[in-house]
């Protein structure tokens, strides 16, 4: 994977890395601070950080032994823009569903009206 968007999504695919990003959204943290909520070694945390760094989501300071990690959210903006491009698809799909349900309601079908559909969706018998 060489493009930035692929690296971003690959980094976000792991729940541990997403949790680390959530923690870093509150402020910088050391490897030890990032490791606290997890049952993993500092080496494992460092590997996760390297993936996040490779995606450009994290930067590391260089102050002797103290190398705090910081969130860099710019790659998340590109991912959000890419996902947002599908908003039109979802709006159109939900609009079509709304029209269909309204049509069923207008027809007043006993087993196909909007109330039956809503009841069925909630697990109630129709």
pTM for this model (two decimals): 0.68
- Mean pLDDT, to the nearest integer, of 4-23? 96
Cβ(13)–Cβ(21) under 8 Å?
A: no
What is the rounded distance in angstroms from the CA atom of residue 68 to the CA atom of residue 65?
9
Domains of the chain plus CATH, in order, are 4-80 (1.10.10.10), 85-121 (no CATH)
Model confidence at 94, pLDDT cuts 50, 70, 90, reads confident
C-alpha pair distances (Å), 115 with each of 11, 95, 97, 101, 125: 43, 18, 14, 9, 11
| pLDDT tier at 121, thresholds 50, 70, 90 | low
**47-73 pLDDT per residue, tens:** 999 999 999 999 988 766 778 999 999
């Amino acid at each position: 994977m060489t493009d930035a968007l692929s690296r971003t999504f690959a980094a976000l695919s792991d729940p541990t890395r997403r949790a680390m990003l959530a923690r870093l959204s509150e402020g910088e943290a050391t490897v030890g601070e990032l490791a606290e909520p997890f049952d993993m070694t500092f080496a494992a945390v460092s590997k996760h950080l390297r993936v996040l760094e490779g995606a450009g989501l994290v930067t590391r300071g260089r102050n002797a032994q103290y190398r705090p990690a910081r969130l860099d959210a710019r790659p998340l903006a590109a991912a959000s823009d890419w996902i947002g491009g599908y908003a039109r698809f979802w709006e159109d799909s939900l609009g079509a569903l709304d029209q269909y349900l309204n049509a069923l309601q207008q027809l007043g079908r006993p087993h196909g009206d909007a109330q039956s559909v809503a009841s069925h969706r909630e697990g109630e018998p129709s």
